[in-house]
A and B are shown apart, each in its own frame.
Chain A
């Protein structure tokens, strides 16, 4: 693998997580190198979101370890966890904007609450970040409910980059958007990420988006990584799982569990 001698930004080793009888992550190994854009692909319900929530500490794995910049963070709580979380930002699938706050306060939220930036200064930064995702000052005062899905995603992106994070997670960044808006978001992700030089981990089942925003792809199936490699190689792999997934065929080694 590229850059194997540097400390990985994020590393998951043998992570297992189950809910009741349902095993979601089954010994997951994943390495995210600094400055890289890794996309994890996989069908619905393969544990992509659970993986991200384990790294963020929203969920605690049953087994295995998670490292961030070489530091073990698997079971960190309280202040130690807060310090680790300051390195991260996330764009949620439904944008997850706070509907009780205007757009600019959503963008400035992490700055004001997490980093103690004064409100007036945070507001200027928010407006600057909104401009970066192509939204004008007029949008800043609106409530998130007044925005379209695509605009909410842009605000979500502005919020994610507001506090200059080192690692950004994208959860299905293009799901639910029309193809053109999806491409706009893809371009924004690429441009903002290049600007900041951050490491990104995205989860998606949109192959167009995955090819465009990644330099590495890993495929998750039944709680394990079944393939990983540089993005251009995905079209030349013999791996039957990947082949079935990227061509969207119903027949193959991946069987859809109709019953959850």
Chain B
């Protein structure tokens, strides 16, 4: 009987959480267009979410592009298809690795920071204080972060794409003996609008997921330092998993016709 009770509790807990998340998402999204719009807070958050993530996202993109070139060369050379390296690096970076890696890195940096900040505000009653000062916590805290993340992520990924391709270029010309001009030419010829745009659409969705998970977990954290700690962990873990799941769904949606 205990096993059944545990299953029942888990099921109820799951639906409760799903319902709460849906309501939170609904009220956050419906608040986006409603005044007042805190432009200054959006700008501030874009700085924190986008600009300060540039170094870490740039570095990971650079090395990922390099490794991608080395491994593809390894595989392609078995069939004498080395000339495909530039275009495969390009497709790999723009369609998948750029958005996914940027998404995961930003999830680690930003979802954690948002959850910790909002969680601390929750346990120190600052969120209740906002309400008593006639300010909606959703509009003041959640909306600027959501909007900033959705705008910042595509920009961040566009930069990550360029740096990733550059990483591939450097690895190919320095370690694999490619001619730089030929590599660049192949890359530019292989470049299509769909590759890049699909990656940027993914980036915007990932940005939404990251900010939402950070805000949601922070908002519902309870009980002091430990509660904020677990909210932070949950934010990063759930954001990362949702990014990977959303990536699969989006790839299915965007590329299988």
Interface set of A (CB-CB < 8 Å, partner B): 53, 56-58, 82, 85-86, 88-90, 92-94, 96-99, 109-110, 113-115, 159, 163
Once bound together, how far apart are the Cα atoms of A93 and B125, in whole Å?
Answer: 9
Contacts A94-B124, A96-B124, A113-B140: A88 and B129 contacting too (C-beta < 8 A)? no
User: Which B81-130 residues have C-beta < 8 A from chain A?
Assistant: 121, 124-126, 128-129
Chain A residue with minimal CB distance to B126? A96
B252 at the interface (CB under 8 A from A): no
Which B residue sits closest to A109, measured CB to CB? B133
CA distance A85 to B130 in the complex (A): 11
Which residues on B are within 8 Å of A, measured CB to CB? Answer: 36, 121, 124-126, 128-129, 131-135, 140
Q: Which of A85, A93, A94, A98 contacts B132 (CB 8 A)?
A: A85
Residues of B with C-beta under 8 A to A97: 126, 129
What is the CA–CA distance of A110 and B129 in the complex, to the nearest angstrom?
Answer: 10
Decide: B140 and A89 in contact? CB cutoff 8 A.
no
Dominant SS at the A interface? mixed
The answer to whether B125 and A56 have CB atoms under 8 Å apart is: no
Bound Cα distance A29, B131 (Å): 24
| The residue from A58, A99, A115 contacting B131, defined by CB atoms under 8 A apart | A58
Chain B's closest residue to A56 (CB) is B132
A sample of 6 cross-chain residue pairs with beta-carbon separation below 8 angstroms, ordered by A number, consists of A58-B131, A92-B128, A94-B125, A99-B126, A113-B140, A114-B135
A92 to B122: give the CA distance in the assembly, Å: 13
Is the CB–CB distance between A90 and B134 below 8 Å?
no
A93 to B131, CA, bound (A): 15
Chain B residues lying within 8 Å of A57, measured Cβ to Cβ, are: 131
Interface centre among A90, A93, A115, A163 (most CB of B within 10 A): A90
Contacts of B124 in A (CB 8 A): 94, 96
Asked if A92 and B129 make an inter-chain contact with CB atoms under 8 angstroms apart, the answer reads: yes
Beyond A94-B125, A96-B125, whether A89 also contacts B135 by CB under 8 A is no
B137 to chain A, nearest CB (A): 10
B133 touches A96 (CB 8 A): no
Name the residue among A82, A89, A96, A99 with the largest chain B CB count within 10 angstroms: A96
Q: Kindly identify which residue among B36, B121, B132, B135 contacts A90, using a CB–CB cutoff of 8 Å.
A: B132
Q: Which residues of B contact A109 (CB under 8 A)?
A: 133, 135
User: 10 tightest A-B contacts by CB?
Assistant: A114-B134, A110-B133, A96-B129, A96-B125, A113-B135, A90-B132, A92-B125, A96-B126, A85-B134, A109-B133
